[in-house]
Amino acid sequence: MPSTSLPSSLIATLPGDRYTDPEVFALEQERIFEAMWFCAARASELAKPGQFRTYQVGRESVLISRSRDGSIRAFLNICRHRGAKLCTAESGEVKRAFQCPYHAWTYGLDGKLVAAPNLTSMPDIDRVEYGLINVHVREWLGYVWVCLANTPPSFEEDVMGAVTERLGAAESIESYDIDNLEVGRRITYDVKANWKLIIENFMECYHCATIHPELTEVLPEFADGFAAQYYVGHGAEFGEEVRGFTVDGSEGLDRIPGVAEDQDRRYYAITVRPQVFINLVPDHVIFHRMYPMAADRTIVECDWLYLPHVVESGKDVSRSVELFHRVNQQDFDACERTQPGMSSRAYAKGGVLVPSEHHIGAFHAWVQDRIGATPAH
């Protein structure tokens, strides 16, 4: 970090190598993504027993599936025999068991070892001990959150607490009934940028006037550069002429019934560290999960959630989806334009944060604190 005196209106960012160095990324994988609660699947995509998805969480592959008893289970996606990756597909459905493609060890949906060639000749094998390794699971807001830590941090404090801290009251998120909304559209973005650039971008609105013409039409106060996240409990108000949170400000979809009067015609954004963004508007919720794949690559899965009858009736949600899809593209393009600069000599000591970005400094301090000692060079 530059220790030379900065003008008092500026704060230093992290140095460039924090966005490019594989050693830094490995520390983040270990001490952030494998240590914290990580939001992975929408529970409804695992509706039936045997439906599964696999995710990279930190350095591990995790298999998430629904068990016969209806509960969601998560395991390390690694065969206990000789370590082959068990499920190689990103998603799919098995009838009653997962079979390793190497020597055919077979595990029930509860993770127990149920069959293996010549298993009867090995009567001393404990089916549970040699079953799949469990990963902690929680369901909240209709999403499946996993934690690879032996002793997970408090979900209530880390995850629910982040939402409450941002909105000012625990009930505020409940008005949107996110559990019971349905996915009207999902778009997956493969972003060639470090995950921290994406978070930093989401936290500030200094760029809004430059790159988000459609968004600043709908939320005129964003043109001033102060993100909604800057103030606790604040939601950005729709422009007077705006009828809905849509790409052209036209009428949106049916309003979520629980949305309170003071939440109506407002946009709230929440960052849940380390990899979730939640955007609330009166008629839908936009839910982003980031999956960091490498120092310079992050997959972002973004869901647009509506009332079930809106999705089931096949109503046209395209103008509604298009607004934030454009915002996503504009943001991710900016992040991809920034990533190469992280390894430039010009950015070796980092850049600066202007006053409306100063809260990003707390994010940098948090990352620094989590990963501890800076790797040696």
Residues that bind ligand FES (CB under 6 A): 79, 81-82, 84, 100, 102-105
Judged by beta carbon, residue 313 or residue 329, the one nearer Fe ion is 329
Residues interacting with Fe ion, by CB under 5 A?
331
- Least CB distance from residue 331 to Fe ion, whole Å? 4
Contact partner at residue 28 from Fe ion, ligand FES, none, CB < 5 to 8 Å by partner kind: none
Identify whether the C-beta of residue 37 lies closer than 8 Å to the C-beta of residue 147. yes
Q: Which residue's beta carbon is nearest to the bound Fe ion? A: 331
Distances (CA, A) of 360 to 25, 92, 163, 186: 19, 39, 17, 28
User: At which residue do the structure tokens 């949170």 appear?
Assistant: 245
Contact partner at residue 96 from Fe ion, ligand FES, none, CB < 5 to 8 Å by partner kind: none
Identify whether the C-beta of residue 176 lies closer than 8 Å to the C-beta of residue 258. yes
Identify whether the C-beta of residue 306 lies closer than 8 Å to the C-beta of residue 181. yes
Q: For the chain, how far is it from start to end, CA to CA, in angstroms? A: 15
Quick one: 298 exposed, middle or buried, by C-beta within 10 A (0-12, 13-18, 19+)? buried
Q: Which residues pair with 65 in a beta bridge?
A: 52, 73
Identify whether the C-beta of residue 205 lies closer than 8 Å to the C-beta of residue 222. yes
Helix (H) or strand (E) holding 315: none
| Angle subtended at Cα 298 by Cα 292 and Cα 303, rounded to the nearest 5 degrees | 100
- Least CB distance from residue 4 to ligand FES, whole Å? 56
290, 249, 291: which is closest to 267 by C-alpha? Answer: 249
- Least CB distance from residue 99 to ligand FES, whole Å? 8
Contact partner at residue 25 from ligand FES, Fe ion, none, CB < 5 to 8 Å by partner kind: none
Half-sphere exposure of 70 (CA within 13 A, CB side): 0
- Least CB distance from residue 126 to ligand FES, whole Å? 17
Distances (CA, A) of 228 to 224, 247, 253, 276: 11, 19, 23, 16
Tokens of 348: 């070796």
Contact partner at residue 331 from ligand FES, Fe ion, none, CB < 5 to 8 Å by partner kind: Fe ion
- Least CB distance from residue 102 to ligand FES, whole Å? 4
Identify whether the C-beta of residue 303 lies closer than 8 Å to the C-beta of residue 42. yes
Q: Around Cβ 28, how many Cβ atoms within 10 Å?
A: 23
- Least CB distance from residue 360 to ligand FES, whole Å? 45
